[in-house]
Amino acid sequence: MNTGSVHVEELARTFEVSLMTVYRDVESLETAGVLYRARGQVAAAATSLNETTAQFRHTQNVEAKRAIAAVARTFLRPGHSVLVDDSSTAYRVLETTGALAPLTIVTNSQAVATAVAGRAGVDLFLAGGQYRPVTDSYVGPTTTGVLGEVRADVCIMSATAVGDGAFYHPYEENVQVKRAMLAAARQRILVVDHTKFARHSLHTVAGVAEIDVLIVDAATPEQGLAPFREAGVQVEVAEG
């Protein structure tokens, strides 16, 4: 299962059992927090050591992410160069770009590149490297080397987990890419929905003081925002 997810029908064929059996077993594992299911696709739940697939993350908390993205777009101006990571929340920021054109988008995300390629007024720069299917993005020294040569106006990124004065991701190579993006931007924006404040992950991306703006949805607990406010970070809460 190289893509990190599988359809329930494929599970039924592989194990030679009925769809009813698969759905019953998947429901039990989902209740236990081991799996997630969306549109017939089954994927492993995120833990401190792994992330759910990019395709699955794009189906989760969509309205909250769109509300966050709408606020994030207010920080962009025509002519900006924008670093965008491989997160599903940052992806939502670029769902509409017409009023912001011209923009230069620099990303390691194949999903972002596919979404904006060919759009009028968008100049796309894809920081390639080793392709990681589970995050649908490029990582490794080639990617970070390219980003080390860039100086952008804005960086927009997300994280798997937030807490204890920092934000985190389970994969070390993705962390290196995120750090390179933060170092390459004049303004650094973290976009995370409320679920990230209840999670844990292995590798520290950066401390809260290393970003300039935090954008969250209205369900985010105030205690999660306190470290950012204390560090002087501009905190924006997206309504809706």
pLDDT at residue 179 in the model: 98
The residues facing 41 across adjacent strands are 7, 38
Which of the pair, 216 or 2, is modelled with greater confidence?
216
In angstroms, the Cα distances linking 99 to 122, 189, 196 are 11, 20, 30
* Domains of the chain, residue spans: 5-45, 62-238
The answer to whether the CB of 3 falls within 8 A of the CB of 55 is yes
Instruction: Please determine, for residue 57, whether its predicted confidence score (pLDDT) is greater than 60.
Output: no
Instruction: Please determine, for residue 237, whether its predicted confidence score (pLDDT) is greater than 90.
Output: yes
Cα–Cα distance, 42 to 30 (Å, whole number) = 9
Find all residues with CB under 8 Å of 105, minimum gap 6, and list them.
82, 84, 94, 112, 116, 122, 123, 124, 125
φ, ψ at 238 (rounded to 5°): -80, 125
The lowest-confidence range among 41-45, 116-120, 142-146, 188-192 is 41-45
Residues 130-138: what's their mean pLDDT?
91
pLDDT at residue 13 in the model: 82
Residues 57-66: what's their mean pLDDT?
75
Find all residues with CB under 8 Å of 79, minimum gap 6, and list them.
102, 103
Q: How confident is the model at residue 81 (pLDDT cuts 50, 70, 90)?
A: very high
The lowest-confidence range among 33-47, 62-76, 109-123 is 33-47
Instruction: Please determine, for residue 181, whether its predicted confidence score (pLDDT) is greater than 70.
Output: yes
Q: What is the pTM of this model?
A: 0.78
Assigned CATH for 62-238: 3.40.50.10470
pLDDT at residue 147 in the model: 97
Q: How confident is the model at residue 114 (pLDDT cuts 50, 70, 90)?
A: very high
Q: How confident is the model at residue 124 (pLDDT cuts 50, 70, 90)?
A: very high
* Number of Cβ atoms within 10 Å of the Cβ of 72: 24
pLDDT at residue 4 in the model: 55
Calculate the dihedral angle through the C-alpha atoms of 206, 89, 122, 73, rounding to the nearest 10 degrees. -90
pLDDT at residue 41 in the model: 77
Please report, rounded to a whole number, the percentage of residues in the chain having pLDDT higher than 90.
Answer: 67
Instruction: Please determine, for residue 48, whether its predicted confidence score (pLDDT) is greater than 50.
Output: no
Cα–Cα distance, 10 to 93 (Å, whole number) = 33
Half-sphere CA count of 193, side-chain side, radius 13 A = 20
Cα–Cα distance, 81 to 231 (Å, whole number) = 26
Q: For residue 3, what is the DSSP state?
A: T
Q: How confident is the model at residue 10 (pLDDT cuts 50, 70, 90)?
A: confident
Nearest to 61 by CA among 191, 220, 195, 237: 195
Burial group, residue 209, by CB count within 10 angstroms (0-12, 13-18, 19+)? middle
